[in-house]
């Protein structure tokens, strides 16, 4: 009789555990690893064309990609961190590092995409040799791209920066130590720079915004960053999702031979596969 009672108690305990586990499973969110459809944030311009090919490749591997296009570099990481996106593909590692430091995002790189050489553009001059003294020069106001633009101006021999700022990739206009042409550095939001070209002599414009504005890196840039730039763009995800099957499928789709061929054929050196 005692054995029967213990057996009934054990059965009831097991049943209760099963019910609780089922209830928890029903209320818990579907784990990211179970996803076959994801949202990926990208910036306007050439990324939209590239992801049309990425989507086709991913679909063959059972992954559906919904693309969300942003016009502002400050929004995609916030959306990813908040869970409104599963991944984004618009930034290089220095930009992501700065966002993590300043905004506390727990985001990581899942894989590399393209290197987009930075260029300075102008509606007033055709060659950097024609840059006049006192010219107004637009650069990005975010730390990573602003630093990148100043390094490009230094590489062109137009300014000299403090060695420590160059070493640490932290250059700002305050780190300019020589400026023989007395250039006026104007820091603006990256998206504003193409629209400000009429008011500036030259402006540093990221590749995606340049393409969207009808500017060609190969034809129109008066200063060009080397193709060996360390600023390779990447696919970012939340840290917990880095090894999820869908994340691996996304990276594999982007780094496929089909996407590589499209980039090399379509952009002719203005974008360079980083994988």
pLDDT, tens only, 228-272? 778 999 999 999 999 999 999 999 999 999 999 999 999 988 999
Q: What are phi and psi of 41, to 5 degrees?
A: -90, 135
Residue 15: the pLDDT is 40
Residue 13 lies in a domain: no
Calculate Rg over the CA atoms of the chain: 25
Residue 5 lies in a domain: no
Residue 23: the pLDDT is 38
Beta-ladder partners of 188: 140
Is 139 within 8 Å of 204 (Cβ atoms)? yes
Residue 24 lies in a domain: no
Rounded Cα gap, residues 81 and 208, in angstroms: 23
168 and 144, same structural domain? yes
Is 39 within 8 Å of 12 (Cβ atoms)? no
pLDDT tens per residue, range 175-233? 999 999 999 999 999 999 999 999 999 999 999 999 999 999 999 999 999 877 789 99
Q: What is the CATH number of the domain that holds 220?
A: 3.40.190.10
What is the helix (H) or strand (E) element at residue 12, kind and residue range? helix 2-27
pLDDT mean over 155-162:
98
Asked whether the predicted pLDDT for residue 22 surpasses 90, the reply is no
Residue 33: the pLDDT is 56
Rounded Cα gap, residues 201 and 137, in angstroms: 6
173 and 245, same structural domain? no
Count of alpha carbons within 13 angstroms of residue 60, beta-carbon side: 9
pLDDT mean over 3-23:
41
Q: Could you list the residue range(s) of the whole structural domain that residue 212 is in?
A: 119-224
Beta-ladder partners of 108: 237
Asked whether the predicted pLDDT for residue 31 surpasses 90, the reply is no
Residue 168 lies in a domain: yes
126 and 210, same structural domain? yes
Count of alpha carbons within 13 angstroms of residue 76, beta-carbon side: 27
Which pair of tokens denotes residue 9? 């108690």
109 and 126, same structural domain? no
Handedness of CA 156, 169, 76, 273 (dihedral sign): positive
pLDDT mean over 144-167:
97
pLDDT tens per residue, range 85-123? 999 999 999 999 999 999 999 999 999 999 999 999 999
Block residue for tokens 């992801």: 51
Residue 129: the pLDDT is 97
| 29 DSSP 8-state letter | P
Last residue of a domain, one of 224, 241, 258: 224
Domain count, the chain: 2
Measured between its terminal Cα atoms, the distance across the chain in Å is: 71
Residue 26 lies in a domain: no
Is 233 within 8 Å of 272 (Cβ atoms)? no
pLDDT mean over 159-181:
97
Distances (CA, A) of 21 to 10, 31, 207, 270: 16, 16, 51, 54
Last residue of a domain, one of 224, 240, 260: 224
Residue 77 lies in a domain: yes
pLDDT tens per residue, range 74-92? 999 999 999 999 999 999 9
């Amino acid at each position: 009789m005692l054995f029967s009672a213990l057996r009934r108690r054990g059965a009831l305990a097991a049943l209760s555990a099963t019910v609780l586990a089922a209830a928890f499973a029903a209320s818990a969110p579907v784990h990211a690893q179970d996803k076959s459809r994801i949202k990926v944030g990208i910036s306007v311009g050439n990324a939209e064309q590239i992801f049309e090919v990425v989507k086709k490749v991913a679909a063959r591997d059972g992954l559906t990609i919904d693309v969300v296009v942003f016009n502002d570099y400050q929004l995609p990481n916030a959306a990813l961190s908040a869970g409104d996106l599963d991944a984004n593909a618009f930034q290089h590692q220095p930009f992501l590092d700065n966002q993590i430091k300043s905004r506390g995002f727990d985001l990581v790189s899942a894989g590399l995409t393209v290197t987009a050489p930075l260029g300075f553009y102008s509606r007033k001059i055709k060659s950097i040799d024609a840059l006049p003294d006192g010219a107004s020069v637009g650069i990005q106001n975010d730390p990573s791209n602003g630093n990148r633009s100043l390094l490009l101006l230094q590489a062109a021999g137009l300014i000299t920066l403090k060695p420590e700022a160059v070493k640490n990739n932290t250059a700002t206009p305050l780190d300019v130590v020589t400026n023989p042409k007395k250039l006026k550095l104007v820091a603006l939001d990256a998206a504003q720079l193409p629209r400000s070209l009429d008011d500036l002599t030259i402006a540093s414009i990221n590749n995606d915004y340049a393409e969207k504005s009808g500017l060609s890196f190969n034809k129109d840039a008066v200063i060009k960053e080397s193709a060996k730039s360390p600023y390779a763009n990447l696919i970012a995800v939340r840290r917990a999702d880095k090894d999820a099957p869908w994340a691996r499928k996304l990276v594999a789709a982007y780094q496929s031979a089909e996407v590589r061929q499209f980039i090399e054929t379509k952009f002719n050196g203005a974008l360079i596969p980083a994988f």
